[in-house]
A and B are shown apart, each in its own frame.
Chain A
Amino acid sequence: MMDLSKYVADLICFFRRLGIRAFRAMGGGGGGGAEEELTAQETALYDRQIRVWGVDAQKRLSKAHVLVCGVNGTTIEFCKNIVLAGVGSLSLMDDHMVTEDDLNSNFLIPHDESVYGGKSRAEVCCESLKDFNPMVRVAVAKGNPSLIDGTFIDMFDIIVVSCASLKTKLFINDNCRKRSKHIAFYSVECKDSCGEIFVDLQDHSYLQKKPGGEPEQQELKYPSLQEAISVPWKDLSKRTTKLYYAMRVLESYESSEGRDPGETSLSDLPAVLARRKDMCDRMSVDESKIPTSLLERLLAAGKKEHPPVCAILGGILGQEVIKSISCKGDPIKNFFYFDDADGKGAMEDIPPTS
């Protein structure tokens, strides 16, 4: 974790500078609760979006620090969106070397090995993202998501995890929950034409827009990832999307086989069907809850991401992160699913709030 400590020092230095900027902007006029105003440059650049979410939200955004673990087509869409929106900083963690597979859905990697050769996904994408908005600090955070610790996590307000094992996701989610600081956790996976987003905002209070009235303060209490995936299936509504169950089967199969996420193919179908039977028996539900055809699609997808679906998931996730930072608008609680086959983008609340 040598790299990480240098990174931490670097980031702390950056925060200090931010602090100085904030102090100066207050104009030394004796405080009086005067909040830092947006600069003329910020107002001009963010004009259209300030008209959507307001100045206060824009100020909060500019102070938020986001960590993305796992760089793929979907998270890069998300990164583009929040860099354009003007978050304070974005850190990318993904030491995997770029391969040809990454070119399929990641628009930040050029088709030119001389550019990406020998570089990590985070490094290649970091350079392009910086270009999108000079006012956002984009940095590479070297390291392994399955090893990150509390002091590191404390530097962020938002952590997004993708292409990580269930174990890693649980580990990071658990870590976020242990900190005294409020850290929002998101995980996102795109399996070709299907996608899943998980959200854990712990205790979240926000302003809910009321049509024709004053906004109202709302409180939400989120379950952890562990809680959200351990709910007895027979307690869930009949209308719960089949994708929720299918993703749990796949996740469980990958974990027990020690596979990397998405490292599956149609040849795994018999074993996955056995896993389905096993889980359904244990949960006392009928196997028909999880259609074989859906499992086939997910297995065939492997690591493939369908670019339009990346754009949709990255867009929804970007919007959610903006909502959670600004504490404005109803956030997703706590899963979101998209399936190209029926075109629906639906939320699921699991376990259901009674």
Chain B
Amino acid sequence: MASAAAPASSEEAVKAAKVLMVGAGGIGCELLKTLALSGFSDIHVIDLDTIEVSNLNRQFLFRKSHVGQSKAHVARDAILKFRPNINIESHHANVKDAQFNVDFFKQFNVVLNGLDNLDARRHVNRLCLAAEVPLVESGTTGFLGQVTVHVKGKTECYECQPKPIPKSYPVCTITSTPSKFVHCIVWAKELLFAKLFGDKNQDNDLNVHSKDGSSSKSDVFERDVDEDLDQYAQRIYDHVFGYNIEVALENEETWKNRRRPNPVYIRDTLPEAVKQNGSSRDCSNDHEEPSAMASLGLTNPQEIWTLAENSRVLLEAFKLFFEKREKEIGNLVFDKDDQLAVEFVTAAANIRAHSFGIPLHSLFEAKGVAGNIVHAVATTNAIIAGLIVIEAIKVLRDDYKNYRMTYCLEHPTKKLLLMPVEPFEPNTSCYVCSETPLLLDVNTKVTKLKEVIDKIIKSKLGMNLPLVMIGSTLVFEDGDGLEEDEAANYALNLEKVLAELPAPVINGTKLTVEDFQQELSCSINIKHREEFDEEKEPDGMVLSGWSAPVEKQINSNGENKSAASSSSAHATDDTVEDPSKPGMKRKLDELLETKENCDASSSAQVVEDDDDCTMLDGNPALIKKKRLQ
């Protein structure tokens, strides 16, 4: 890489290059077009997604007739139509699949990311580091965007700086003490919707309040034999919005310093519905997709419905699921593109919000919150794609003195709408690109290996298929191709507490965890601790010595700094405001404000299901120049 020779001409470098594009969504469509125009002629594209209607306003390679088809394949075909002489290989697959291993990555001169989620970004970062292939990373939200360059040993890697991770909410906030609309949405979508229409075998915290003493039934959510659908719907309504609230109110302790919620019963919100019981309207004006809004004559998704309207929508949506989509019941998972599901969740969240004195929201707004919808426009994606290609050409020419991170701003800052910044040096305490050990505070006497793997190794360290070693003893390995007895042995280990593993884990033990696919290995030093704060340390474990993702704290007493305070030197930069840059402060607040829009998710949210999610990091104002050597 680091040749002393003069950089090749752009044309030559571009012509000879083989590039990998990860993501064929909002940024991807623009990028593939700009790459093709710029003379790139050997391009691989990976994308797992299929095309949706709401993509069409910006993913211009796709048409209505393509809805449901692979983004990667359709994007390839669209580009080949106007530039038939270039080579594009499309993969309709997950970039985390085993086929895209380090050897696969090694064939490329540069990797260009147009991804929508943190998880995949971290994975690609690790593969690029392992394969020693430069990475150009990008993201957009609304009018904001950024492009960064990551070259091993020269600039910081994608994970050198803290990243925002999806918010999670304590279970009790969702089940008992919601204070924001998003809490009601999470409740409606992940508890109520899942309970009624999803997999019955899943654990569901809605059961907490379903111990209905007066009923002999094992589960009040089950429909009685011969129960009229209207009766059933109203019974569920009264149970979750009325009875459950009454039960919750009995616990005086909870409401000492909180506003008490009001139980809501159908007889109060819709007195006529109770009387009309059974006289279902004729909703036979066959809509292709059943919709409660349509059958109730509600047309404007921007409008905020009254409590009565929400109640009507809820009952109607409930009934439509049973009347028109009965076969799917038991297998439904909330999907932001499922109109009826969005209607149900909006109405349920609003009724709950009413109960708790939280302002109601329109279906349009509720859909945005429930579906984690990222604000996206074509223009920003086009600009960002242009900037990616400019950086990619510099990388191909090995012109590292001119590498830049570029921020696309909504409002000009110091006259700039596109602000280039010199990249950072690698963070020497980054566990991904350096070999710094991590520290895990954990109660080794009660914590199972499974919990450490799920909560720390997979979710915090982002490993896909981890392997865990204690000294030279292998205690766990993930993935296919294990011998039967090995697999059985590992399964046993998973359920054991740390101190009772074949090689006991106690205070001072060093764990080695590895992911072969990512070629990432790191050490974790164990510190035994018996007391954990349930509110602030809900995992019962605290990982430190790494650049922790910036998680918005739910309780704001500012004491929970376990992860943040131990993060890298960059963290201290965040408190410095460059006095030579007036007006910058405002800009930053806006950047941060907007960033929040893209992670309004919940604890159970694992899939980020829209493209172009920005991870705005490294505040441009706070960046202290560090010249690359």
Contacts and interface: CB of A to CB of B under 8 A. Distances in A.
A38 B385 CA distance: 30
A351 B420 CA distance: 26
B41 to A, nearest CB: 13
B599 interface: no
B383 interface: yes
Interface string B364-405: 100010000111111111110111011001000000000010
Interface string B135-167: 000000011000000000000000000000000
A218 interface: no
A340 B390 contact: yes
A308 B377 contact: no
A46 interface: yes
B30 interface: yes
B418 A344 contact: yes
Contacts of A110: 81-82
A84 B60 contact: yes
B565 to A, nearest CB: 27
A152 to B, nearest CB: 28
Contacts of A307: 34, 37-38, 386, 389
Contacts of B82: 107-111
Contacts of A173: none
B17 to A, nearest CB: 14
Contact of A211 (B299, B364, B417, B590): B590
Interface in B44-64: 53-54, 56-58, 60, 63-64
B81 to A, nearest CB: 7
A308 B364 CA distance: 35
A343 B404 contact: yes
B417 A316 contact: yes
Contacts of B390: 308-309, 340, 343
Contacts of A43: 301, 364
A158 to B, nearest CB: 15
Contact of B376 (A52, A73, A109): A52
Interface string A325-339: 000011010001010
B415 A346 contact: yes
Interface stretch (B216-224, B406-414, B567-575): B406-414
A309 B34 CA distance: 10
A111 B38 CA distance: 14
Contacts, number: 169
B52 to A, nearest CB: 10
A133 B382 CA distance: 17
B36 A107 contact: yes
Nearest to A317: B379
A319 B143 CA distance: 8
B57 A111 contact: no
B386 A211 contact: no
A314 B364 CA distance: 30
Interface string B449-475: 000000000000000000000000000
A86 B368 CA distance: 21
B378 A318 contact: yes
B60 A51 contact: no
Given A48-B54, A211-B590, A340-B390, A316 B378 contact: no
A11 interface: no
Nearest to B53: A44
A312 B417 CA distance: 11
B181 to A, nearest CB: 16
Contacts of A47: 54, 57, 373
A81 interface: yes
B373 A311 contact: no
A14 interface: no
The interface centre, meaning the residue of A52, A310, A311, A329 with most chain B CB atoms within 10 A of its CB, is: A311
Contact of B378 (A84, A104, A336, A344): A84
Interface in A160-212: 209, 211-212
Contacts of B376: 48-49, 51-52
Nearest to A41: B53
B373 A48 contact: yes
14 contacts: A37-B299, A48-B376, A48-B610, A49-B375, A81-B378, A84-B58, A310-B37, A310-B386, A311-B385, A315-B379, A343-B404, A345-B418, A347-B415, A347-B417
Given A307-B38, A318-B378, A329-B143, 12 more contacts: A48-B58, A48-B610, A49-B376, A80-B378, A211-B589, A308-B387, A312-B418, A315-B380, A329-B410, A344-B420, A345-B416, A347-B417
Interface of B: 30, 33-34, 36-38, 53-54, 56-58, 60, 63-64, 81-85, 142-143, 299-302, 364, 368, 373-383, 385-387, 389-390, 393, 404, 406, 408, 410-412, 415-420, 586, 589-590, 593, 610
